[in-house]
Structure 1
Amino acid sequence: MYQNLIYATAKPGEQVIFNEKKVSDTLSLLQDHVGGYVDCVHFEGIDIWCHDEGMLLGLEPSLIIKNDPSPRLTQRDIMLAGPIIMTSHNDEGDTVSLNLKAIDTLLQIRQITYGSGKKCLIFFNY
């Protein structure tokens, strides 16, 4: 069964891009975008899917969720590496389109420059 899926994607150094696609197999879409097996971080009604070994493989960071006001990364912060794809889920746990609240949250993500001109997305969650 096909569903019309509204989702967002981001790659290291790039902005969030909103997409819409008719899909029958959401797992294939998720794995194709991240380039392998997926892991999920649930945040503010958003399922953020990333490569499950992104950090181990040395992929560049794509999103930092700052849960601590410190200017440095802390153990409370979340860093995701490599390409990411963002969806929502229903009460049964099925992957579904982003809802309006999730889209509003994603619009609050900003891009920062770090190191020698590298860019990363950041969300200040405090």
Structure 2
Amino acid sequence: MTGPSALVQQLADGEHLPADWRAPFEHVDRARFLPDRVWGRVDGGYAPVDRADDPERWKRLAYRDEPVVTQVEDPPGAPVALTPSSSASMPSIVARMLAALQVEDGHRVLEIGTGVRHEVAHCK
């Protein structure tokens, strides 16, 4: 089974997702933050995977507990892209960082990745 619920369950089962963060992880779909083109491993490098052209493979990449490569920086025309230059973080790492944050109701958090300030809602 592939999808947001399966990923959240995998994180919880692996004890990577603190109970306080389960509801936010279930509520916010990771796929909303991924571009329509991501890059999947192939032949020692990376190849583009487009949401519209291969939705099942795109979805499998989006809902694994692995980083998702969102950009590569190899020379134009290179047969295989080898150098990732941007990615969406591995979900279990994000969960660990949030747990380490020790956020509580009323705290304000600046999320540098998007430059958006979030008011923390009730997470517990």
Using structure 1 for the length normalisation, give the TM-score: 0.22
Bigger relative contact order, structure 1 or 2, given CA contacts below 8 A and separation 6+?
1
Which structure has greater strand proportion?
A: 1
Which structure has greater helix proportion?
A: 2
Greater C-alpha radius of gyration: 2
